[in-house]
Amino acid sequence: MTRLEQGEAEPTTTTASRSGAHQVLLLLYALFTLAAGARSLVQLATAAGDAPVAYSLSLLAAITYALGWVAIRRASEGRTGFASRMLWVELAGVLTVGTLSLVERDWFPDASVWSDYGIGYGFVPAVLPVAGLLWLRAQDPSRSESGVVTAFRVVAFAEALSWLGLLTGMFFKYVVDAGEQGVHVFGPIHGTVFLTYLVVTALTWRAQRWPLHVAVLALAASVPPFCTALFELWAQRTGRLDARR
Amino acid sequence: MTCAGPTLFLASRVTSIRGLIPSQPGEAPVLGGGDNGDVAALDQISWVVVGYAVLIALLAAFAAYRWRERPPWLDSMAWLLEGLLALRAVAGVGVLLSGREPDEVSTHVGYVIASVCIMPLALRSVQDDHGAWSLGVVAVAAVAVAAVSVRMVMTL
């Protein structure tokens, strides 16, 4: 006897769970579980003494990705509770380890997966939990579109702000000649925010159904300093960020 | 015939192809080649894989923009990529069996195994879905294959 014949209600998200952004997220989480797990296990098995903190943190990252995969899968079936906590834990982990790797370089004679906010993996480790949280927010139909737009506004502002930090660091490095600590800190932060902006812009393009030239303009705005904030202002004034009907 | 038979045969073919390329400037090509010849041939296959995988990722992005669904020919291209990866893996194992050892054997073998597993798993996960997001899965898998192939070149 099937569940429906027994009188159980069919989950309303079953059809939706088959196709969607979670498929891409699930593949990325599986890939990072494999990459971080294999990397950390080989390093711990062959040279654990070289960088014990970094290798252990890589193993922790692998476990986090495995749990993240489970969380996304459960959320795609309508059970979002675990994912709503797990993705924040992952984001906190990336930011904490990324900052520690910049501030306490002695702890990291070799890189971990989350060193410099995942620079060794093209900053995808930093972008992944943000993308997951945005997807999770989009699962709530009452907040989906406004959530993406809000994320776009926040990230566009953060991108401009990270430019300010990077340019300040470059000023102290090249003009004042006061060391390159500022570039070391703000370089990876700007890289992470830049990639996040690209992802969020792609999501906003789809959600707001922008024409191609607007999307290209939004992406191009990430190249010159502070232009993402200018684009956000322009998009707001011309109704490009208004709620879709 | 042992399991190593076909791989050793392929490795010998790889060696003979590399043997047509001189290893030093001004040196005449010597049929048969050597360890460096095997590695050079493997590298060439790997770079072809990288280029082809990037092409698939770009086509997936274009299909997502143009049609918003996965065309059947993209699956065929992805399986052709898998064929190339299988060829690279078999030839690579043959080279390993012939005595050539990478600096980090376990790391390299891990990359070889990962390279042949990624695309089938990705296609399996979207086999009943031809929507726009399935193109994202194919594109991500292709980019991952390209990255793994680059790492294979670096670790051999």
Contacts by residues B38-42 (CB-CB < 8 Å, ≥ 24 positions apart): B38/B11, B38/B14, B38/B95, B38/B98, B38/B100, B39/B95, B39/B100, B39/B156, B41/B14, B41/B15, B41/B17, B41/B91, B42/B14, B42/B88, B42/B91, B42/B92, B42/B95, B42/B156
Share of chain A above pLDDT 70, in %: 89
Angle between the A21-47 and B105-125 helix axes, to the nearest 10 degrees? 160
Closest CA to A96 of A71, A121, A67, A116: A116
- For the segment B9-35, the average pLDDT, to the nearest whole number, is 43
Q: How confident is the model at residue A244 (pLDDT cuts 50, 70, 90)?
A: low
Share of chain A above pLDDT 90, in %: 36
| Test the A interface: residue of B62, B109, B137 with most A CBs within 10 Å | B137
Rounded to the nearest angstrom, the gap between the alpha carbon of residue A125 and the centroid of all alpha carbons in its chain is 7
- Number of alpha carbons in the 13 Å side-chain half-sphere of residue A19: 13
The answer on pLDDT for A15 being more than 60 is: no
Q: What are phi and psi of A54, to 5 degrees?
A: -65, -45
Output A201 or B102, whichever has higher pLDDT.
Answer: A201
* A113-128 pLDDT per residue, tens: 999 889 889 889 999 9
The answer on pLDDT for B111 being more than 80 is: yes
Nearest CA in chain A to B139: A24
Q: Is B70 left (phi over 0), alpha (psi -120 to 50) or beta?
A: beta
Contact residues, chain A, for B144 at CB < 8 Å = 31
- For the segment A72-92, the average pLDDT, to the nearest whole number, is 90
Cβ contact B129–A34 (<8 Å): no
* A176-220 pLDDT per residue, tens: 777 777 788 788 888 888 998 999 999 899 888 899 999 999 999
Closest in B107, B114, B137 to A23, CB measured? B137
- For the segment A49-78, the average pLDDT, to the nearest whole number, is 92
- Give whichever of A105-109, B12-16, B119-123 has the largest mean pLDDT: B119-123
* Average pLDDT across chain A, whole number: 84
Q: How confident is the model at residue B23 (pLDDT cuts 50, 70, 90)?
A: very low
How far is Cα B102 from Cα B105, in angstroms, rounded to an integer?
5
Contact residues, chain B, for A212 at CB < 8 Å = 65
Q: Is A66 exposed, middle or buried (0-12, 13-18, 19+ CB in 10 A)?
A: middle
Contact residues, chain B, for A27 at CB < 8 Å = 121-122, 125, 137, 140-141
* B67-79 pLDDT per residue, tens: 888 999 999 999 9
Rounded to the nearest angstrom, the gap between the alpha carbon of residue A65 and the centroid of all alpha carbons in its chain is 13
Q: What are phi and psi of A111, to 5 degrees?
A: -75, 150
ipTM score for this prediction:
0.74
Q: How confident is the model at residue B132 (pLDDT cuts 50, 70, 90)?
A: confident
Nearest CA in chain A to B115: A31
* Total-model pTM: 0.69
Output A66 or A188, whichever has higher pLDDT.
Answer: A66
Q: How confident is the model at residue A13 (pLDDT cuts 50, 70, 90)?
A: very low
* B37-77 pLDDT per residue, tens: 777 888 899 999 999 999 999 999 999 888 888 999 999 99
Closest CA to A208 of A233, A237, A242: A242
Cβ contact A24–B121 (<8 Å): no
The answer on pLDDT for A64 being more than 90 is: yes
Are the CB atoms for B48 and B9 separated by under 8 Å?
Answer: no
What would the two tokens of residue A184 be? 């070391």
Q: How confident is the model at residue A37 (pLDDT cuts 50, 70, 90)?
A: very high
Contact residues, chain A, for B114 at CB < 8 Å = 34-35, 38
Instruction: Count contacts between A and B (CB, < 8 Å).
Output: 42
The least confident of A16-25, A86-95, B26-35, B94-103 is B26-35
* Average pLDDT across chain B, whole number: 80
Reduce the DSSP state of residue A54 to 3 states and report it: helix
What would the two tokens of residue B18 be? 């590399």
Are the CB atoms for A178 and A123 separated by under 8 Å?
Answer: no
Contact residues, chain A, for B134 at CB < 8 Å = 19, 23
8-state DSSP, A240: T
What would the two tokens of residue B110 be? 């891990």
How far is Cα A181 from Cα A178, in angstroms, rounded to an integer?
9
